[in-house]
Amino acid sequence: MKRMTGFWLAAIAAGLMGAAAAPAWAENPLGAYIGAGVGVSNVGNYNSCCYSYGYYNGGYNNGDNVAWKALVGIRPIPMVGAELEYLDFGSNNGNNGYYSNYYNYGADSHPKATMLFAVGYIPIPVPFLDVYGKLGAAHLQTDISFNTCLDPSCSNVSTYRLDQSNTKFAYGVGVQWRWQEFAFRGEYEGVASEYGNPEALMVSVTWTF
């Protein structure tokens, strides 16, 4: 009798919990969310890019640049989700120097990427905390500009701009703390490219509908 009573009490409790969760699930069955973030980035080194064009052989400094992103995502089940995001890695200045009898200066590289990720969440016994990894593809656009002149006085300056778009492998890892409809994240993300490997450390916030 006690077992039967316990069974029915558990069934009733489960039913009440399911009924309470039903409205939220009906409103957002995919667990959709939006978010934005800011951080620091490294745009990488684009020697192979500029060298192949025969214009500029100066590397890009690997200093910290301001990066930002916007994202939308879904998490239909606790361990699997997907995200679409736009990440602007910021811009970085290159080194000045001579190449093929030309003096090149004022180089600037500005990579941006639209990325589609599959997101996997690691099951951990800590409430409201998620650790996850992201793998996917990025449409990487790299805008490079620089000035070049033939004589040391640079009396006759030519300006060049190279715009490149490539689809590359994207990856990331992160941790987030969830509070009600919000999640606060720390993430590392990057894109693998022969024109450099732009990467960023980001902090961001998401809001689940």
Is the pTM higher than 0.85? The answer reads no
Mean pLDDT on 4-15: 42
Residues 20 and 74 in one domain: no
Residues 35 and 19 in one domain: no
Q: Which residue, among 141, 92, 90, 91, has the nearest Cα to 115 in the 3D structure?
A: 141
Q: For the chain, how big is the Rg over CA atoms in Å?
A: 24
DSSP label at 198?
A: -
Residues 69 and 99 in one domain: yes
Tens of pLDDT, residues 73-119: 999 999 999 999 999 998 877 667 766 677 777 777 888 999 999 99
User: If 0-12 CB within 10 Å is exposed, 13-18 middle and 19+ buried, where does residue 179 land?
Assistant: exposed
Enclosing domain of residue 19: 1-26
Residues 6 and 53 in one domain: no
Residues 22 and 51 in one domain: no
Amino acid at site 40: V
Q: Detail the DSSP E strand segments found in the chain.
A: 33-42, 65-77, 80-88, 92-93, 97-99, 102-122, 129-149, 157-179, 182-192, 199-208
Residues 176 and 81 in one domain: yes
Residues 75 and 15 in one domain: no
Tens of pLDDT, residues 169-194: 999 999 999 999 999 999 999 999 87
Residues 88 and 141 in one domain: yes
CATH number at residue 92: 2.40.160.20
Q: How many domains does the chain have?
A: 2
User: If 0-12 CB within 10 Å is exposed, 13-18 middle and 19+ buried, where does residue 8 land?
Assistant: exposed
